[in-house]
Structure 1
Amino acid sequence: MSTLQIVWLRRDLRMKDQPALHAAAQAGPVIPVFVYDEERGGDHAYGAASKWWLHHSLESFGRSLGKRRAKLVLRKGDAPQVLAAIAAQTGAAAIHAMRHYEPWWKEAEDELRDALGDECELCLYDGNYLLPPGSVTTNSGDPYKIYTPFSKAMLDRMPPRDPLPEPETIHSPDDWPDSDDLEDWDLLPTKPDWAGGIRDFWEVGEDAAHDRLDWWAGEVEKYDDGRNLPSVDHTSRLSSHLHWGEISPATVWHRLKDKRSDGWKTFAKEVIWRDYTQNVIDQFPDYPRESYRDYDERTLWRNPKAGHLIAEDLECWQRGMTGYPVVDAGMRQLWKTGWMHNRVRMICASFLVKHLLIDWRYGERWYWDCLVDADYGNNGVNWQWISGTGVDSNMFSRIMAPLTQSEKFDAGDYIREYVPELADMDDYCIHDPPDDRRGDYPVKMIAHKEARERALEAYRASKD
């Protein structure tokens, strides 16, 4: 006789290629459970934009289950305790879950296993990444720290396993546990409702993810040239769907793997980068919180808590009021849409840590709160790369010039869209408007040459 199975859902809200759901559906009646464990992430609890996406992703997944006459059980609280209580109440034989590599989720998995004891089995599955983090190692068996050799080793093992189909049948239990009402979690902003731009920019859910992939399959060949042009925005925008598990990376890889373009080869490395960042946090769990390299942080960074002028500099960057049009366009796009073009993410991040000399962690937390694709590994690794503090990072002395970057990558129309004060500016001036033509748009917070010299001097002092 089949026995009751629980599926513990986190960032894996899909029906197709969902190994935990697939295994549970084959074993017996299924109770899918999502626990809103608000406190577990600590300083990396769900950001505001992530809460918006989570609400709509749960709605979408719940509708998908409803078509199978199944339900999504929602609970709020400590995930191991909640799941263990549901298992005891229902007599479930097993809890099935996808592995997650954020340190708080690894801890929760251990706590749940202890709480279940011998009464209920915890079954963990891989599938949110191309290969399980930690499984790609050097010849000596050590995990890779540097991206380039990691990427080469990954490519040698591609393609990943074949994606699993959506379960043919999901049997329901005779009785369902009580469930919270999603609206009661207050994940959506109301006073004020600042999410209008995000709603206009995104479609959320598994169907939207597959629609996006279908579109991208016809466009990926242009990625190698178009990925750096924010005015064109020739990017996949699959990052949010991948982060929330609305589509698996194996599905993406197999959909595109027969392409022969340079665009696909470049995009494949971006998908591998996602695996790389998880390997980093698997080795260094506090990586998005602590710099990897040694230096005198008090000498290098200007601390916003140390004075109101530095705090005002941080706020100007957050609001997109730095006087550098491409930086301000990026920061305003982030606030409006919950997303930012990848090239501009780097420009904006570099500006904070090198032009303003503000600790990269302030930027990491701002992106964490504002991005709908805010990912613990990706966000932390990217910030340590740009700040020169990471295990594999850009040299601090390589300081991006925002004005040069803006002109080189033809960001004029991008600026016009997100900095309306400059919408009438011609191509000759828009990247660096003369002071007498800026109107209400602010002058530069600091000149590039002055910022560069200040940053290099601070870096030298931090290494003495």
Structure 2
Amino acid sequence: MSSPQIVWLRRDLRMADQPALHAAAQAGPVIPVFVLDQDRAGDHAYGGASLVWLHYSLESLGKGLGSRRSKNVLRKGDAPQILASIADEVGASCVHAMRHYEPWWKEAEDELRDALGEDRKLCLYDGNYLLPPGSVTTGSGDPYKIYTPFSKSMLEVMPPRDVLGEPETISSPESWPESDDLGDWDLLPTKPDWAGGIRDFWDFGEAAGHERLEWWTDQVADYDEGRNLPSKDITSRLSPHLHWGEISPAQVWHKLKDSRSDGWKTYAKEIIWRDYAQNVIDQFPDYPRESYRDYDERTLWRNPNAGHLIEEDLKCWQRGMTGYPIVDAGMRQLWQTGWMHNRVRMICASFLVKHLLIDWRFGEQWYWDCLVDADYGNNGVNWQWISGTGVDSNMFSRIMAPLTQSEKFDAADYIREYVPELGGLSDDEIHDPPDDKRGDYPVKMIGHKEARERALEAYRASKS
């Protein structure tokens, strides 16, 4: 019998179109291993909502492997050390893994390569993105920093590689290494159990991702206009399935590529945005932590750590108690479901950094903890885009008007769902409730005109 092959799983929790698993299955008996290595990522260790999704995704993958008479070995601790130890124990000749671009995973790959020594190999594969970062470059051969030319270059080389099926056979080793029990990891909250809304809102795992894609195939034509309407929510909701690798972007692209609709053309560019974000963090590993542009941060931002009133402003935003119904609906949807409609994500983010003048990194960290699709690249790139601090970003002076946005994109029913205390108001009133009809709902933290003038003045001062 050939020597065992370890498959190191991270955010690639699928069996089909999984190049690492596919290669391992062809080489010998397969030992899939997932290591929960929370210390390595520091302030970007998996947040609370991510841990909930991770539990159910690992549970789903375990059932899929079980149906093939295989299983997933679970361990907790330092990933390179644990994987090297298992390789020694079982006599594995190779550790197969999908390539990841977060700086802590790139560091872990280097450490594992050293720990395995000369007699064993680390084989890395691409497949979590349409193309590996650096695959498309400028005319001078440099990686792109700006999205639009990057997207155009990507479209010129699409479609992506062909999709791989599940391995025909997955052989098991003669003996299995010890494994933790998933339930012992306590990934799910219990005191209290705040994850009920996440469970109600989502189905988890590879099969659920493909069911969602089947549904989306019939809806994508309406995406170009419908993506901005939170009350209708014509969005794919594939983002957590893509983030956790339950489905690959190549599978999505090949499923939808023959569509001729404007909706598909718009959606295709958003799949490309995932690749763009990985290209950014591959060039600037600390991008979700450090602003790209130069400015006086102390002049521009109000720091919640520096004063009680600023801290209370941050908490009001986090809790959905700003007095702006569209903002509060979004923040409450985020807390309840682990997800927020993309148009509303932008409105809420803009409100924090421009109406409240709170440093974008506080928002990035809150989204990181609350989103089931919290992605190091996407989250950082999106926050720096909205705050005007990024390599490719919106101008700071473009300040979204929440009340105008709410009415323009017909968010009345969305507000009724997530801000039920305003449910009795008419469509004309609910976007900006009169003071005498707010009841227990809070008044605005700050008026839009006042906030805009304050933000522009702070921005001018930060650049002087």
TM-score band w.r.t. shorter chain: over 0.9
In structure 2, distance between residues paired with 1:446 and 1:315:
15
What amino acid does structure 2 have at the position aligned with 1:105?
A: W
Q: Secondary structure of the residue that 1:14 maps to in structure 2?
A: coil
Q: Secondary structure of the residue that 1:383 maps to in structure 2?
A: helix
Q: Does 1:458 align with 2:438?
A: no
Q: Does 1:315 align with 2:315?
A: yes
Q: RMSD of the alignment, in Å?
A: 0.4
Deviations 1:176-201 (A, max 9, x none): 00000111111000000001111100
In structure 2, distance between residues paired with 1:311 and 1:434:
27
Q: Does 1:147 align with 2:147?
A: yes
**1:22-41 to 2 correspondence within 5 Å?**
22-41=22-41
Deviations 1:2-22 (A, max 9, x none): 221000000000000000000
| Equivalence for 2:7 | 7
What amino acid does structure 2 have at the position aligned with 1:422?
A: L
| Equivalence for 1:75 | 75
| Equivalence for 2:429 | 429
| Equivalence for 1:49 | 49
What amino acid does structure 2 have at the position aligned with 1:259?
A: S
Q: Secondary structure of the residue that 1:160 maps to in structure 2?
A: coil
Deviations 1:46-86 (A, max 9, x none): 00000000000000000000000001000000000000000
In structure 2, distance between residues paired with 1:104 and 1:245:
18
C-alpha deviation, 1:143, in angstroms: 0.1
In structure 2, distance between residues paired with 1:83 and 1:128:
21
In structure 2, distance between residues paired with 1:120 and 1:203:
38
What amino acid does structure 2 have at the position aligned with 1:138?
A: T
| Equivalence for 1:157 | 157
* TM-score with structure 2 setting the length: 1.00
In structure 2, distance between residues paired with 1:167 and 1:325:
49
| Equivalence for 1:223 | 223
In structure 1, distance between residues paired with 2:124 and 2:113:
10
| Equivalence for 1:60 | 60
**1:45-124 to 2 correspondence within 5 Å?**
45-124=45-124
What amino acid does structure 1 have at the position aligned with 2:382?
A: N
**1:184-203 to 2 correspondence within 5 Å?**
184-203=184-203
Structure 1 stretches of at least 4 aligned residues deviating more than 2 Å after TM superposition: none
What fraction of aligned residue pairs are identical, expressed as a percent?
Answer: 83
Q: Secondary structure of the residue that 2:191 maps to in structure 1?
A: coil
What amino acid does structure 2 have at the position aligned with 1:441?
A: Y
**1:190-339 to 2 correspondence within 5 Å?**
190-339=190-339
In structure 2, distance between residues paired with 1:2 and 1:196:
45
| Equivalence for 1:355 | 355
In structure 1, distance between residues paired with 2:33 and 2:194:
29
Q: Does 1:18 align with 2:18?
A: yes
| Equivalence for 1:378 | 378
Deviations 1:76-106 (A, max 9, x none): 0000000000000111000000000000000
In structure 2, distance between residues paired with 1:214 and 1:278:
26
| Equivalence for 1:136 | 136
In structure 1, distance between residues paired with 2:155 and 2:109:
30
Q: Secondary structure of the residue that 1:118 maps to in structure 2?
A: coil
In structure 2, distance between residues paired with 1:160 and 1:345:
29
In structure 2, distance between residues paired with 1:59 and 1:306:
43
| Equivalence for 1:416 | 416
In structure 2, distance between residues paired with 1:392 and 1:193:
39
In structure 2, distance between residues paired with 1:161 and 1:297:
43
Q: Secondary structure of the residue that 1:38 maps to in structure 2?
A: coil
In structure 2, distance between residues paired with 1:157 and 1:3:
38
Q: Secondary structure of the residue that 2:429 maps to in structure 1?
A: coil
Q: Secondary structure of the residue that 1:95 maps to in structure 2?
A: strand
In structure 1, distance between residues paired with 2:165 and 2:181:
30
In structure 2, distance between residues paired with 1:366 and 1:379:
10
Deviations 1:324-353 (A, max 9, x none): 000000000000000000000000000000
* TM-score with structure 1 setting the length: 1.00
What amino acid does structure 2 have at the position aligned with 1:338?
A: G
C-alpha deviation, 1:146, in angstroms: 0.1
In structure 2, distance between residues paired with 1:113 and 1:197:
41
C-alpha deviation, 1:119, in angstroms: 2.0
What amino acid does structure 2 have at the position aligned with 1:53?
A: W
In structure 2, distance between residues paired with 1:250 and 1:154:
13
C-alpha deviation, 1:121, in angstroms: 0.5
Deviations 1:187-245 (A, max 9, x none): 00000000111110000000000000000001100000100000000000000000000
C-alpha deviation, 1:136, in angstroms: 1.1
C-alpha deviation, 1:297, in angstroms: 0.1
What amino acid does structure 1 have at the position aligned with 2:186?
A: D
What amino acid does structure 2 have at the position aligned with 1:69?
A: R
In structure 2, distance between residues paired with 1:160 and 1:81:
34
Q: Secondary structure of the residue that 2:189 maps to in structure 1?
A: coil
Where does structure 2 lack aligned partners over 5 or more consecutive residues? none
Where does structure 1 lack aligned partners over 5 or more consecutive residues? none
C-alpha deviation, 1:296, in angstroms: 0.1
In structure 2, distance between residues paired with 1:428 and 1:24:
60
